[in-house]
A and B are shown apart, each in its own frame.
Chain A
Amino acid sequence: MNFDLTDEHQMLQDSLRRFLKYSCNSKTRNEALSSETGVTSDLWHAMAEMGVIGAFFTEEQGGFGGTGADIALVFEELGRANVVSPFLDSALLSGRVLAAAGELDRVADLIGGDLQLALAHGEPTSRYDLNYVRTASVNGILNGRKAVVVNALASDILIVSARTSGKVYDEAGISLYFVEKDAAGLNIQDYALIAGGHAAEVTLDNVQGSLIGEEGKGFALLKEAYAIATVAQCAETLGEMTAATELTQEYLVTRQQFGRPIATFQALAHRMSDMLIEMEQARSAVIRAAGYFESDERTRDINIHAAKNLMGRAGRLIAEESIQMHGGIAMTQEYELAHIAKRITMADHRFGDTDYHLEKFMALTQS
């Protein structure tokens, strides 16, 4: 057993951390937050050039990585630097759907940094259920509504799931389509997200789509892509939790009240200790989810559900305690922690929340 990074991973981590430290600060983030689409193209292209997007795909898919470990490493660094950019949705989630469907030309564009994507799958009443699709396709003509589609406005083309057979909760009968942004009948109602970036409500009124992969077999591709995206989300949150914990630790030893640093009050010191203990637990959960990603499906899924559940609980603790122990200053938009806490909390609303993954974990481990 060996928990050290490989030499290659160590190099990637070092260079990524150095680059992000240099190129991401509150100024660039505020630019991203207030930009019209939530994407800053300079950062995107620079990261693509560094090979960051290539690390999301295997060699057969045109990349040079693609394992759980590769992806977790990149996203932890993105989280640590509080980057607001749609790498998760545009490059990883959408990209892995296309890679699995054999759309390798598009993947090459993506790796080069020349393509923005959005996966329009969730619907207003699907909550976190991956198998729920009401949007219907009849001979490639799509009708329905997709909810909270991250990066829809900035995307060059949409990937849309639609039902070609079966009932709304059936896994079989879900198909995937490309939909052009200027397609007739397509409406994108864009809005900003609380934790940065943009999403949209996408309505499809007799919109022409073009089939991706095999008809009716979309669920397997979605499940696989959501699995790796969940690992990435956990890793990103881990990075953000690390940043929040470091800020809080620093604040406790610097902030003076009653004539001494507030870290010397045991009531706070013990809670800081609890945060540090949970951070170790969170790191282990992410290491497991990433490390078992290439195992059999059951082992993989058990560890992903465990990680997302644990990150939901530990993330809430870290975000809330960081704010509470800072006091009022953490409530201000200007202070870094406010932004970090929002990202940690909102991660619980992506790819299934704490309870969703607890249920899935229970279902897999009760027998």
Chain B
Amino acid sequence: MDLNYSKDDLAFRDEVRAFLAEKLTKELSEKVRLGGDLTKNDMEGWHAILNAQGWLAPNWPKEHGGAEWNAVQRHIFDDECASSHAPRVVPFGLSMLAPVLQKFGNQLQKDHWLPRILSGEDWWCQGYSEPGAGSDLASLKTKAVREGDDYIVNGQKTWTTFGQHANMIFCLVRTDSKVKQQAGISFLLIDMNTPGIEVRPIILLDGSAEVNEVWFTDVKVPVKNLVGKENDGWTYAKYLLTHERTNIAGVGFSTAGLAAVKRIAKAEMSGGKPLIQNPLFAARVAQVEIDLMAMNTTNLRIVSQAAAGGAPGVEASMLKVKGTIIRQEINDLARRAVGPYAMPFVSEAVEGSNEPLPDPHDAGPVAAQYFNNRKISIFGGSNEIQRGIIAKVKMGG
């Protein structure tokens, strides 16, 4: 047993640190740290910087222009990015669609779409959930009917993150409604500029506008945009979900979040002493830190297994549940730490303006982040669904 990174891992970490120190601007990292909404330009700009370095697609094979890092390297990279407040890479094209295309797409599709994902020419969003198909995704109703060389698509998708920025959407659609639900689903690539598509924003409880409804009315999609075989989409969707789970534990976010909580609690006074010395608050912080230390190692155990060839299966579900609980607990501590200053709705910070914030903690909109991150235990397969998977795998039934 060796709990430490190898020499090569450490050299890699130093390389990542040097890169971040050089390329990540203070302006951008401050915006991320304070929880400001990133513009499309912010995100595309960061993608371009990573792409120039060859680091935009850590999980892709080299033949497609990826970095082909092993799982430990990916973990190191995610960790370093989170602790230096780098923007999160938008995952829809890079780590969700791309693996599906690489495994199930035909040569034409690979040659056409993959380079455009790296170059940023296409911005992909995900058309999975529907109002009636959330946890029960296989019950989706959006229909695609074959007419000559096209599919005609009708229906509605929801919770489409960054749908307002996207020019392309990958969708699960029903192509056969007479068979078992899972057996009648296909995987389609749809141009968002096709007539009949309408994107409507959904404002979330913290005031942010990141998710959307996407409506399809008689939308024509060329048959060449079908990935794999008709009615085999559920297989691809499940394959995609295993990739959605890279960095699922969010160790980097939690580590950065915990550091922020401590920073705030050192400055905040309670009864004449720094809040961090208040036994009740200190105990809350210590408990979550203990959980995070253990989860960091759980994550590394699973990740190094994957690096050695094992695939994270049920363990990914465990990391999702524990990881989101810890992240949400840290969000909760941050809102507690700032006391009455959790109450202002700091829209200036959300919009990224330079107006001085009313709170003296330089903490950003911590309450808005607390509310916004209630989503992380709901999306990508809710924690209830994950617990169901764990129970099913471990106990059958």
Contacts and interface: CB of A to CB of B under 8 A. Distances in A.
Chain A partners chain B:
yes
Interface of A: 122, 124-125, 127-129, 147-148, 169, 189, 191-195, 199, 201, 256-259, 265, 267-268, 316, 320, 323-324, 327-328, 330-334, 338-339, 341-342, 345-346, 348-350, 353-356, 358-359
Interface stretch (B99-107, B224-232, B379-387): B379-387
Given A327-B135, A353-B339, A332 B281 contact: no
Given A194-B367, A333-B207, A355-B278, A327 B343 contact: no
A169 B345 CA distance: 29
B374 A320 contact: yes
Given A124-B360, A128-B339, A194 B345 contact: yes
A332 B202 contact: yes
Interface in B297-351: 328, 332, 335-336, 339-347
A354 B333 CA distance: 12
B336 A129 contact: no
Interface string B237-256: 00000000000000000000
A229 to B, nearest CB: 14
B280 A355 contact: yes
A193 B328 CA distance: 22
A148 B343 contact: yes
B134 A257 contact: yes
Contact of A349 (B342, B347, B371, B384): B342
Given A324-B383, A338-B205, A350-B343, 6 more contacts: A128-B340, A148-B358, A323-B378, A328-B129, A334-B202, A346-B367
B343 A331 contact: no
A127 B275 contact: yes
B344 A191 contact: yes
Contacts of B269: 125, 127
Given A328-B129, A333-B207, A338-B205, A257 B135 contact: yes
Contacts of A349: 335, 339-340, 342-343, 367
A99 to B, nearest CB: 24
B377 A324 contact: yes
SS class of chain A's interface: helix, strand, loop or mixed? mixed
A-B CB proximity, top 5 nearest: A338-B205, A257-B136, A355-B280, A333-B203, A127-B339
A194 B344 contact: yes
A265 B387 CA distance: 13
Contact of B268 (A127, A258, A355): A127
B332 to A, nearest CB: 8
A334 B131 CA distance: 15
Contacts of B266: none
Contacts of A358: 280
B204 interface: yes
Contacts of A257: 134-136, 139
Contact of B159 (A147, A323, A328): A328
21 contacts: A127-B268, A127-B270, A127-B339, A128-B339, A129-B272, A169-B271, A169-B272, A189-B358, A199-B343, A267-B387, A323-B378, A324-B383, A327-B378, A328-B129, A328-B379, A330-B374, A333-B204, A341-B205, A341-B371, A345-B335, A349-B335
A358 B284 CA distance: 14
- Which size bracket describes the interface of B in this complex? 35 or more
A258 B132 CA distance: 10
Contacts of A268: 384
A349 B205 CA distance: 18
Given A122-B340, A258-B136, A328 B345 contact: no
A54 B336 CA distance: 34
Interface string B166-203: 00000000000000000000000000000000000011
A342 B388 CA distance: 29
A330 B345 CA distance: 19
A192 B347 contact: yes
Most buried by B among A127, A147, A341: A127
B368 interface: yes
B347 A201 contact: no
Contacts of A348: 336
- Among B347, B360, B384: residue with most chain A CB under 10 A: B384
Contacts of B346: 191
B370 interface: yes
Contacts of A124: 360
A195 B343 contact: yes
B345 A359 contact: no
B375 interface: yes
B374 A129 contact: no
B275 to A, nearest CB: 7
A194 B359 CA distance: 14
B138 to A, nearest CB: 9
A350 B340 CA distance: 7
Interface string B262-287: 00000011111001001011001000
B204 A327 contact: no
Nearest to B272: A169
A316 B347 CA distance: 24
Given A194-B368, A258-B136, A324-B378, A199 B344 contact: yes
A230 to B, nearest CB: 14
A331 B134 contact: no
